[in-house]
Amino acid sequence: MGSYLIRRLLLVIPTLWAIITLNFFIVQIAPGGPVDQAIAAIQFGNTSAIPGLSNNSMESTHRATGVSNAAEGQYRGARGLDPEIIAEITHRYGFDKPLHVRYFNMLKDYLSFNFGNSLFRSASVISLIKDSLPVSVSLGLWSTLIIYLVSIPLGIRKAVHNGSTFDVWSSALIIIGYAVPAFLFAIMLIVVFAGGSYLDWFPLRGLVSAHFDTLPWYKKIADYLWHITLPVLATVISGFAALTMLTKNAFLDEIRKQYVVTARAKGLGEKQILSRHVFRNAMLLVIAGFPATFISMFFTGSLLIEVMFSLNGLGLLGYESTISRDYPVMFGTLYIFTLLGLLLNILSDITYTLVDPRIDFEGRK
């Protein structure tokens, strides 16, 4: 197992390189880059959105000076701006360097987790990620934990009582929950429980209260759980269906196999058969879906929830950086998400061997 893990860890490096490289060159040909965004902000008088721009350049933005052919040819949105401002913005964002130089500089910096500074925020990328990561980790971990704790026992019970009234009604409820979008369920929770129209039991903003640091430890835990309840409920509502049905079908497939019939013929009880034989084999498919479930809860599943509950998570940070073409933040969040996904896949393989020791990754050719 040791040599297999070393090989998998070494494969993380070329995989990260391929994903970052592909996205880097795709982004370069996309219209509306950071320079265009900055020029548009200046033309609308929002020079504060461009940290690092000199005072002289800011003052000159208020003077309409005609446009050189070179500036107009390169940035069509720059009409009416001084070419010196265009040059300073281009230099400020590093776009005065050739494409290959920017690419290799990025690779060199990423080797040491140096993601640079945000183009439109007065902060480093790593600090923005550190501030956003606890929110996304909280949503992802709690949502995944609740989904697994509910879906696995429910799926096993549905498999054991396949075709019963319980199976039919639980399937109907699961399908209804799956059909309701997470953001719609979040709106309902806000209206009912967060002071919308009925009850005012839960807060609507942030992960903790403003006076969180002054609270004793037990009140800190209660305050955190008080804030995270509604976002987690809104996130998990549509996550039960896939895992529950996967667990049910996996157990049904194992229950119908010949070794289960043989175990019953030997006089083993149903609980013994399920725990000693069926569970180990059926859980392999369920474990295989863990990385995808966690990543979906970690990013795509929590994006709208972070917006609606005013949670500054990593998903929202990545989305806003993509919209504003904040390349350092965009690539930094992509790098972190990719690295987490690859490491979770390795963790999934380790869990395979813990559930079923018969699996030998070392013997694979």
Q: 141 and 77 in one domain?
A: no
pLDDT at 269 over 70: yes
Q: Which residue has the higher pLDDT, 13 or 297?
A: 13
Does a structural domain hold residue 19? no
Domain boundary among 112, 137, 163: 112
Does a structural domain hold residue 363? no
Does a structural domain hold residue 8? no
Q: Are 125 and 116 in contact (CB under 8 A)?
A: yes
Q: Are 263 and 273 in contact (CB under 8 A)?
A: yes
pLDDT at 274 over 60: yes
Q: How far apart are CA 312 and CA 307, in angstroms?
A: 8
Does a structural domain hold residue 364? no
Length of the chain: 365
- Which pLDDT belongs to residue 24? 83
Q: 159 and 55 in one domain?
A: no
Residue 271: pLDDT band by 50, 70, 90 thresholds?
confident
Q: For 122-165, how does the pLDDT look when each residue is reduced to its tens digit (9 = 90+)? A: 788 888 888 888 888 888 888 888 888 888 889 888 888 888 89
C-alpha closest to that of 202 among 232, 236, 235: 232
Q: Which residue has the higher pLDDT, 26 or 2?
A: 26
- Which pLDDT belongs to residue 169? 92
Mean pLDDT of all residues in 9-24: 87
Q: For 307-332, how does the pLDDT look when each residue is reduced to its tens digit (9 = 90+)? A: 778 788 877 787 888 887 788 888 88
C-alpha closest to that of 109 among 51, 36, 24, 28: 24
- Which pLDDT belongs to residue 342? 83
Q: 205 and 65 in one domain?
A: no
- Which pLDDT belongs to residue 67? 36
- Which pLDDT belongs to residue 76? 45
- Which pLDDT belongs to residue 69? 37
Q: 173 and 103 in one domain?
A: no
Domain boundary among 112, 144, 165: 112
Residue 71: pLDDT band by 50, 70, 90 thresholds?
very low
Q: 182 and 100 in one domain?
A: no
In the chain, where does DSSP find H-type helix?
2-28, 34-43, 55-60, 69-74, 83-92, 99-111, 125-160, 165-179, 182-193, 217-236, 240-255, 258-265, 270-273, 279-288, 290-298, 303-308, 314-323, 327-355
Q: How far apart are CA 161 and CA 155, in angstroms?
A: 10
Q: For 27-44, how does the pLDDT look when each residue is reduced to its tens digit (9 = 90+)? A: 777 666 666 666 666 655
Buried residues in 323-356 as b, exposed as e (16+ CB within 10 A):
ebbbbbbbbbbbbbbbebbbebbbebbeebeebe
Q: 343 and 233 in one domain?
A: yes
Does a structural domain hold residue 11? no
- Angle CA 140–145–150, to nearest 5: 130
pLDDT at 357 over 50: yes
Q: 307 and 222 in one domain?
A: yes
Distance of CA 339 to the CA centre of its chain: 12
Q: What is the identity of the amino acid at 357?
A: P
Q: 139 and 243 in one domain?
A: yes
Does a structural domain hold residue 234? yes
Q: 227 and 157 in one domain?
A: yes
| DSSP one-letter string for 211-233 | TGGGS-HHHHHHHHHHHHHHHHH
Q: 224 and 132 in one domain?
A: yes
Query: Quick one: three-class SS letters along 332-351?
Result: HHHHHHHHHHHHHHHHHHHH
Q: For 196-217, how does the pLDDT look when each residue is reduced to its tens digit (9 = 90+)? A: 667 778 887 777 887 888 888 8
Domain assignment of residue 340, given as a range: 126-355
Domain boundary among 68, 84, 112: 112
Mean of per-residue pLDDT scores for the chain = 75
Q: How far apart are CA 96 and CA 90, in angstroms?
A: 6
Mean pLDDT of all residues in 335-352: 79
CATH number at residue 235: 1.10.3720.10
Does a structural domain hold residue 263? yes
pLDDT at 66 over 60: no
Placement of tokens 């806003």 in the chain? 320
Mean pLDDT is lowest, of 56-60, 81-85, 212-216, for 56-60
Burial class (CB in 10 A: 0-12, 13-18, 19+), 178: middle
pLDDT at 178 over 50: yes
Q: 141 and 249 in one domain?
A: yes
Q: 54 and 144 in one domain?
A: no
Q: Specify the number of domains making up the chain.
A: 2
Q: How far apart are CA 333 and CA 215, in angstroms?
A: 32
Q: Are 293 and 285 in contact (CB under 8 A)?
A: no
Does a structural domain hold residue 66? yes
| Residue 211 phi, psi (nearest 5) | -100, 25
Q: Are 295 and 337 in contact (CB under 8 A)?
A: yes
